[in-house]
A = this chain, B = another copy of it.
Amino acid sequence: MVDFVFFLKNVLVVSLAMNLCLIWRLSHHNEENIAFSWGNLQQKLNNFNTAGKNNTRGEEVDVAQVSKRTIEVLKTTSSAATNDPDGGESNLVINLDHGDPTMYENYWKQKGEETTVVTSSWQHISYFSDVKNVCWFLEPGLVRAVTRLHKVVGNAVTEGRHIVVGTGSSQLYQAALYALSPPDSLGPMNVVSAAPFYSSYPLMTDYLKSGLHKWAGDAYEFNKNEPYIELVTSPNNPDGVTRQDVVKGNNGILVYDLAYYWPQYTPIILPADYDIMLFTVSKSTGHAGTRIGWALVKDREIAKKMTTFIEINTIGVSKDSQIRAAKILQTVSDSCENANQKEPESFFDYSYKFMDERWKKIREAVNKTELFSLPDFSHETCSFSGRTFGQLPAFAWLKCEGEVDDCESFLRRHKIYTRGGKHFGASKKYVRISMLSRDSEFEILIKRLPAIIIS
């Protein structure tokens, strides 16, 4: 009998050891498989510290990039291996490097069938949506939804504009560069944006070593007497600041990236009224997976050339996603017009309160320590909501105060993955932290930040 118990104990020990090995192996296997994801972008951006540099391809795995799946595996592993009172939370890696906008998911879960899209297999078969439109692959329903929402919110002029739809606003950015760069000029067109600038601009401009356009760096430092395209991102990614153009030369063409010019992120002051304006559902309603963006373009020829780019690049844009985006945008407009009547709160009420609460929490967390600081924003009155408030950006532009020179590496040692200032043409003392994650990650962030000490 004792022998049998002894035998059983041995088997149990072997089995437990095997479990630990397997869990370890599993977590490393997953890490190896997924570490590259999304992060090639970041890895490549390491090559862009100097404006105009052309080495745009770095394919090595960036171990900084660990996704949610790894987090879950690590959590399982650490919970199993330790008796950590917080359930292993302190061992969790939280990845706030990218801006995956999952934070409005709960809002959409509350919505009923009026937001559901039903598509039969015979629908939307053709390449064409509306052959009378400059943008022939643009669904008429999306035109109506975009036009209505801008009117309801008052954040952009749509009268006298051509709408061009894109597979996200990234494609529209590239379409705008194509449309604005003369095909027959001697050298490529300069593309600039004021630092800190969106970290993907350099990569999207140069990844194909195009002879049409080239990244020329920080707009503040651009002093060539040459034609240029200036990207004006307002509110700005990464720092949330309201922007105007800065070069103010005679040969410039301005492209306004207004992805965040919505009333949950910033007070709406006036309807934007520029020649080329880019928007996306990813950040306005949180539907990144649909990959739908739109451009409002004053000049017909530029709208045509942007359409041509998308025609060559992807022969149009998914009809299914356009139709879904139209439904989502109409629902948002409905929620604004029905607020206080049929519906308890509009989408923008919900999302404003959501962002406001997150910003209060992160400011509280940062105020508890001397190590970090956040930008302050002056208050203005929003013409849409009537509220007076300062920016509530989709990203926190956090500064490491004192002696810490490389804020990204510093936070990484504390298992907070962020995108460092150098990727945005700025100091390494800054990092960009996504404010758009799910609650679980955000709560860990605000618990962990004030607990960090310099060791």
Contact = CB atoms under 8 A, between A and B. Distances in A.
Interface string A87-131: 000000000001011101100110100011111111011111101
Contact of A132 (B69, B100, B204): B69
Q: Which one of A178, A200, A291 has the greatest number of beta carbons of chain B within 10 Å?
A: A291
A416 to B, nearest CB: 19
Interface string A157-190: 0000000000110110010001000011000000
Contacts of A308: 40, 44, 59
Nearest to A127: B288
Interface in A344-361: none
A286 to B, nearest CB: 6
B311 A291 contact: no
A312 interface: yes
Interface in A58-90: 59, 67-70
A287 B119 CA distance: 13
A259 interface: no
Interface in A280-315: 282, 286-292, 301, 304-305, 307-309, 311-315
B124 A290 contact: yes
- Copies of this polypeptide in the complex: 2
Most buried by B among A56, A127, A312, A320: A320
Interface string A119-162: 11110111111011110100000000000000000000000000
Nearest to A41: B311
A324 B315 contact: no
B167 A318 contact: yes
A63 to B, nearest CB: 14
Interface in A180-212: 183-184, 200, 203-204, 207-212
B118 A111 contact: no
A124 B289 contact: yes
Interface of A: 30, 33-34, 36-38, 40-41, 44, 54-57, 59, 67-70, 98, 100-102, 104-105, 108-109, 111, 115-122, 124-129, 131-134, 136, 167-168, 170-171, 174, 178, 183-184, 200, 203-204, 207-212, 282, 286-292, 301, 304-305, 307-309, 311-321, 324, 327-328, 331
